[in-house]
A = this chain, B = another copy of it.
Amino acid sequence: MNKFSIRTDLAIETTELLIKNAKKAEKEEKIDGVEVDVEKSERDDITVTWVKITNEQGAKSMGKPIGNYVTIESPAMKENDAEAHEHIIKILSQNLIKLRNIDENSVILVVGLGNWNVTPDALGPQVVSRILVTRHIAHSLPEQINDSVRAVAAISPGVMGITGIETGEIIKGIAKSMKPDLIIAVDALAARRSGRINSAIQMADTGVIPGSGVGNKRMALNEETLGVPVIAVGVPTVVDAATLVNDTMDMMLGAMMSESKKGGEFYEMLSELHEEEKYNLITQILNPYVGNMFVTPKEVDAVIKRLANIIANSINIALHPAIQIDDINRYMN
């Protein structure tokens, strides 16, 4: 069984699946080499989950590199709720600093991955357009604020279908040329559970593989490939069609089972299948038809703007101690 085929970019979803499979197999519900730490805030229904992959065994089980994955979840982030957003921004920027302490002399490059022409994939470019860019003026700032403003650059490189160049090649070239101390890469992700769409922000200190969401998987962006540490920030903005069918069928069968006793054999047969096997079966059937489709909410345009605002504000505050929580949105365009 190849764990890597579990189609999700969220570490918390992988842990959920592993625990579910462990339950089925009546094994211990603990993943070796993986620590999970959950903190909930009643206000705005915010959950912060740290998943720490601590050794090779954990990395293998999770299908993800050793490192830290922190996910902030709240249904309020996709709503038009300015007060909750400020709360989320605060928590997000605090966890970003906790994930990686940023020296005051650091040069930071923020990269907006994804295709600006496809609404749910435009999250990265939309964040970049709201980042407070200072690297070109850092030397000319007044001394009193100089200590608390970092040198920040930002770029949206586009996707291979637009440029003809692998995104990793572009970022690698720019990184070699401008030599940042840290890269923060923002991307749209794919979720496994449709209920999590636009309601969770994951940050990881292990880098990112662009195109996990809407696009196709590409060269990894991480310290190994770029020579610079990479913080990945991502939001699941889509589920893939096969996942959706899978989830719905589960719910449907459950519903029908409780109503009638019909469908029993079919349900049992499905139940016997491992998650991956079932997913693969669906993918196989769907492929010629909808294998290349994604599912996203109708109000995707407004939601992507809200998420871009939250993430850009969090990055701006985390990078520039001069910017206080009260200044939120002040530097937005």
Using Cβ atoms and an 8 Å threshold, which residues of chain B touch A172?
173, 177
Oligomeric state, in copies: 4
With A169-B174, A178-B165, A244-B245 in contact, do A298 and B293 touch (Cβ < 8 Å)?
yes
With a cutoff of 8 Å between Cβ atoms, the chain B residues found around residue A247 in the complex are 289
Chain A residue total in the interface (Cβ 8 A): 80
Is the Cβ of B289 less than 8 Å from the Cβ of A194? yes
Q: With A136-B165, A164-B153 as given contacts, are A299 and B292 in contact (CB-CB < 8 Å)? A: yes
* Interface of A: prevailing SS: helix
Q: Which of A149-202 contact B (CB under 8 A)?
A: 151-155, 157-158, 160-166, 169-170, 172-178, 194-195
Q: Specify which of B252, B255, B293, B329 is in contact with A295 (CB 8 Å cutoff).
A: B293
Among the interface residues A241, A269, A327, A331, which one has the most CB atoms of the partner chain B within 10 A?
A241
Nearest B residue (CB) for A281: B252
Among A1-9, A51-59, A115-123, the stretch that binds chain B is A115-123
The docked-state distance in angstroms from the alpha carbon of A157 to that of B165 is 13
* The one of B115, B174, B297 that contacts A293, using a Cβ cutoff of 8 Å: B297
Is A43 on the interface with B (CB-CB < 8 A)? no
- Separation of A316 and B324 alpha carbons in the complex (Å): 24
Seen from chain A, the residues whose Cβ lies within 8 Å of a Cβ on chain B are 82, 115, 117-119, 133-136, 151-155, 157-158, 160-166, 169-170, 172-178, 194-195, 214-215, 241, 244-245, 247-249, 251-252, 255-256, 260, 262-267, 269, 281-282, 285-286, 289-290, 292-302, 305, 309, 327-333
A-B contact pairs, 8 of them (CB 8 A): A118-B119, A151-B164, A195-B289, A215-B298, A248-B286, A251-B285, A252-B281, A266-B266
